[in-house]
Amino acid sequence: MMSQFSFAWAGWRWEVAVDAPVDASCAVGPRGPRAWYVEAPRFEPVRANGFIGAVAEGGAVNFRDLAFNPHGHGTHTECLGHITREVHSVNGCRIPAWMPCLLVSLVPDVLADGDHVLGQGAVQRAVGATWEALGLPSDAPMPQAVAVRTLPNEGGKAQRNWSDTNPAYFEAGVLAGWAAAGVDHLLTDLPSVDRERDGGVLAGHHAFWCVPDAPRSHATITEFLYVPNDVPDGLYLLNLQTAALENDATPSRPLLFPCAKSIPA
């Protein structure tokens, strides 16, 4: 039997299927996605003073050292410490345990130079269509979190080496608009919200975190998401789980719980 609870948002109550979460994460591992020219993560048994950390090799336990890059391997969540001189850790962000999250699928616009960009037009079309499907007015408020699935959405993207592929990226104005609208947590299946090679400008990161003018230390960006094609666009309840690692980025596991509109709040 499916357990449910409800919450109020945008003038309606929403029923949440708590037993049917969508795990939108890609694991850190040899088959997971990677970017930024890093090699595959390494998992190596400890070998010291006669100790072997591998049961298959005669050891009593499996005891491995892990080597990976939080920005380059698997689904990860980052904070404004990614672009500031001051040290900020994701572990210090107070991420709500539950928050409404809009899942939208975006088709990037192709620019004259061949870049694929998620601009205002693509966003307005996708969000407008989702509001209509949910029976909400076009001026409905943006929720606290937005998850972006880019199209096409072939399964191979969750295992791809994205280095030197010039992936799609966001117009900075889109991210500035979402920040102004109260979106505090942005999730995307791309390796970055910015162009792979932009000379270190990182305009999208700066726009979303409002650095340096009004830094949003509570806001996060999650990259390398993967949402299967059979998961429809719409409203979900997000549980964004992050590893307790003192760093500007950390591995994460976003869970999306399906929601259905029930009665006016």
pLDDT value of position 138: 87
pLDDT tens, 113-125? 999 999 999 999 9
**Contact present, 252 and 222 (Cβ < 8 Å):** yes
Q: What is the DSSP letter of 56?
A: G
pLDDT value of position 155: 82
User: Is the pLDDT confidence value at 5 over 90?
Assistant: no
pLDDT tens, 168-196? 999 999 999 999 999 999 999 999 999 99
Maximum Cα interatomic distance, the chain, rounded to a whole number of Å: 68
Helices (H), 50-196: 120-134, 172-180
What is the distance between the terminal CA atoms of the chain, rounded to a whole angstrom?
Answer: 25
Q: What percent of the chain stands above pLDDT 90?
A: 92
User: Average pLDDT, stretch 232-259?
Assistant: 97
Structure confidence at residue 1 as a pLDDT band (50, 70, 90): very low
pLDDT value of position 93: 95
The contacts found for 47-54 with CB under 8 angstroms, 24 or more apart, are none
Q: What percent of the chain stands above pLDDT 70?
A: 98
Domain architecture of the chain: domains with CATH: 4-36+71-264 (3.50.30.50), 39-69 (no CATH)
What is the helix (H) or strand (E) element at residue 138, kind and residue range? none
Q: At what angle do helices 172-180 and 120-134 cross, to 10 degrees?
A: 40
**Contact present, 126 and 133 (Cβ < 8 Å):** no
